[in-house]
Amino acid sequence: MSFDVNTISPPRGGFVGGCYEPMTGAPFELRSPSAPHIVFEERSASQEDIDRCVSLASGAVKSSGWAACGPRDRARILHRWADLVDARLEEIAILEALVGSRPYHEATERDVRVVAMALRQFAAYAETHESAVTATPHHQLSYTRDMPYGVVAAIAPWNFPLILSAWKFAPALAAGNAVVLKPSELTPFSILRVAELGIEAGLPKGLFNILPGAGGTGAALVRHPGIDTVSFTGSTVTGAKVMAEAAAHGLKPVSLELGGKGAQLVFADARDPDHVADLIVRGITYNSGQVCFAGSRLVVQAAIRDRLLSLVEQRMNGLVEGPTWQKVSLPPIINATQLARIEAIVQTATDQGAELLCGGEPIADAQGRSFFQPTILQSSDTDNAAYREEIFGPVLLLDTFESFEEGIAKANHPEFGLAASVYTSNLDTALAAADQLDSGTVWINHWGRAADMTSPFGGVRRSGFGKDMGRAGYQKYLKTKSVWVERAVP
Ligand code: NDP
């Protein structure tokens, strides 16, 4: 399974009102991390592009009857769309692998399929959604109706461009909204093809729009008076700016899926240490660690520290870096800025006293691609940079504990709370840890999200708030109205 990177010509520009459109804002360059000789000259959406797009989206919700029609009618279109995405799986996966860090084989096995799954799952939620009749006296009738907001701004990051976009646009559309999606400037192509398939499936034009941009487009979109709610995934720093902009420009509701510093809490009685080591390594090296819910801290009970560390190191040594069109376990780091950031944090961490147990260096190949060695640092210092920063690279921070209480205290991070894992063969220990880990998701004897859409995902504290997926990830695109009827009881 592979493709020839030199022969791919991706869709370009934006997708506005059901058509591809060239953007008219500032130019920017987009470089493939797997093929740095390939450069795409793109343009950001200008303020005029944004105004026109939001106005088309707002008009389309009303003129198409999308919000008012039966959820079953919306679901029919979303199901057709999902079938088309499945049918064009390979082509979409190539576009995903062309400029991002997602390997083609993983995009075909997972990312594109997740888009189709999201469309089907949220179609099902739309069809089965129920509102309440409340417990009033008989001379009154009170019920709630969940209404779409109108136009949703969705801002998605570069690390899983398709999946993280689908977590937003599928529920928002299923709930009866229009969507203006701002993909990362680093990965705009795959989602354009998905949008085109929506039109082929019968989605009314103007309901799903895409505005590319590199610097300023996201903020302009959040501020726009025609945007009714904002769903953002990205860094904690930018998430805070999104929240401030949304508060200052219309007090719009926002949901933020932000950074993490996930713990992998391993008790000495964990069953099958080989399997645990597989999961630990996957947790920090999947997508080269460019994962918001990466298991970036290994908190291990002292009695098995040495054995587990040796198993983890063995596996890390077996990982293979390479471009996204090969079946590699370590895809490229997305760009030079991100690589420099990883290097700088590792350097600061060791300067501050963390012990470097393996890795620690960037890897550059002859074609100009950049990777980072799987790295393990050891430190118990909660002021160390490797503890405080979301590194977004294959860098694992190791610490040990003795008692259950100490393990929980170390696994809980003072700022982040997106996802954590606990490994033990004792069910009581596992459930007590799940209760006490202050994290939006806890995996027991596992790391990583299943492709399944039924379980909500989202963090606490600086990892954000509001859920993607699950019923909560559908409900957040609806506002609840209470209706009171005063009845004349005969
Ligand atoms: P950012 O979190 O900085 O997000 C960039 C996106 O946010 C762009 O689309 C940008 O649009 C938009 N944006 C920037 N400012 C605003 C604003 N004020 N209002 C609305 N939108 C805005 O991600 P980066 O790609 O720059 O990555 C930086 C770091 O973030 C990484 O090193 C990594 O640590 C972390 N990260 C975390 C992710 C996660 O899932 N938790 C995902 C990706 C990155 P525009 O270009 O138009 O300004």
* Encoded tokens for 314: 């063995």
Q: What is the pLDDT along the chain (490 residues), one digit of tens a residue?
A: 678 888 899 999 999 999 999 999 999 999 999 999 999 999 999 999 999 999 999 999 999 999 999 999 999 999 999 999 999 999 999 999 999 999 999 999 999 999 999 999 999 999 999 999 999 998 999 999 999 999 999 999 999 999 999 999 999 999 999 999 999 999 999 999 999 999 999 999 999 999 999 999 999 999 999 999 999 999 999 999 999 999 999 999 999 999 999 999 999 999 999 999 999 999 999 999 999 999 999 999 999 999 999 999 999 999 999 999 999 999 999 999 999 999 999 999 999 999 999 999 999 988 899 999 999 999 999 999 999 999 999 999 999 999 999 999 999 999 999 999 999 999 999 999 999 999 999 999 999 988 888 999 999 999 999 999 999 999 999 999 999 999 887 7
One of 292, 410, 467, 476 is an active-site residue; which one? 292
What is the DSSP pairing of strand 178-182 with strand 208-210?
parallel
The rounded distance, in Å, linking the Cα atoms of 151 and 327 is 39
Q: 398: which DSSP letter?
A: E
Residue nearest to atom 8 of ligand 1 (CA): 184
391 pocket-lining for ligand 1 (C-beta < 6 Å) = no
Q: The whole model's pTM is what?
A: 0.96
pLDDT score for 56 = 98
Question: Under DSSP, is residue 354 helix (H, G, I), strand (E, B) or coil?
Answer: coil
* Encoded tokens for 158: 């570069």
pLDDT score for 471 = 96
Phi/psi at 417 (nearest 5 deg)?
-160, 65
233 pocket-lining for ligand 1 (C-beta < 6 Å) = yes
Q: Where are the beta strands (DSSP E) in 418-471?
A: 419-423, 441-444, 460-461, 464-465
The rounded distance, in Å, linking the Cα atoms of 98 and 32 is 6
Question: Which residue(s) pair with 257 in the sheet?
Answer: 233, 464
The rounded distance, in Å, linking the Cα atoms of 386 and 396 is 8
Ligand 1 center to 184 CA (angstroms): 8
pLDDT score for 2 = 79
193 pocket-lining for ligand 1 (C-beta < 6 Å) = no
One of 53, 96, 182, 185 is an active-site residue; which one? 182
292 pocket-lining for ligand 1 (C-beta < 6 Å) = yes
Residue nearest to atom 9 of ligand 1 (CA): 184
Helices (H), 27-111: 47-64, 71-87, 89-99, 104-106
341 pocket-lining for ligand 1 (C-beta < 6 Å) = yes
Report the candidate in 80, 77, 253 with the shortest Cα–Cα distance to residue 173: 77
One of 185, 321, 390, 410 is an active-site residue; which one? 390
Q: Which of 102, 155, 162, 238 to mutate to test the pocket of ligand 1 (most atoms within 8 A of CB)?
A: 238
Domains in the chain (CATH in brackets) are 5-258 (3.40.605.10), 263-451 (3.40.309.10)
Q: Which of 28, 160, 235 to mutate to test the pocket of ligand 1 (most atoms within 8 A of CB)?
A: 235
Q: Is 459 exposed, middle or buried (0-12, 13-18, 19+ CB in 10 A)?
A: buried
The rounded distance, in Å, linking the Cα atoms of 335 and 454 is 33
The rounded distance, in Å, linking the Cα atoms of 395 and 358 is 10
pLDDT score for 143 = 97
Whether 257 is catalytic is yes
Whether 292 is catalytic is yes
Whether 479 is catalytic is no
Q: Is 4 exposed, middle or buried (0-12, 13-18, 19+ CB in 10 A)?
A: exposed
pLDDT score for 100 = 95
Question: Backbone dihedral region of 358: left (phi > 0), alpha (psi from -120 to 50 degrees) or beta?
Answer: beta
The rounded distance, in Å, linking the Cα atoms of 13 and 11 is 7
Measured from the CA of 155, which atom of ligand 1 is nearest? 9
Q: Could you tell me the strand order of the sheet in which 297-301 lies? A: 355-358, 375-378, 395-401, 297-301, 263-266, 419-423, 441-444
196 pocket-lining for ligand 1 (C-beta < 6 Å) = no
pLDDT score for 1 = 62
Whether 343 is catalytic is no
Question: Is the CB of residue 228 less than 8 Å from the CB of residue 252?
Answer: yes
The rounded distance, in Å, linking the Cα atoms of 221 and 180 is 9
Residue nearest to atom 41 of ligand 1 (CA): 259
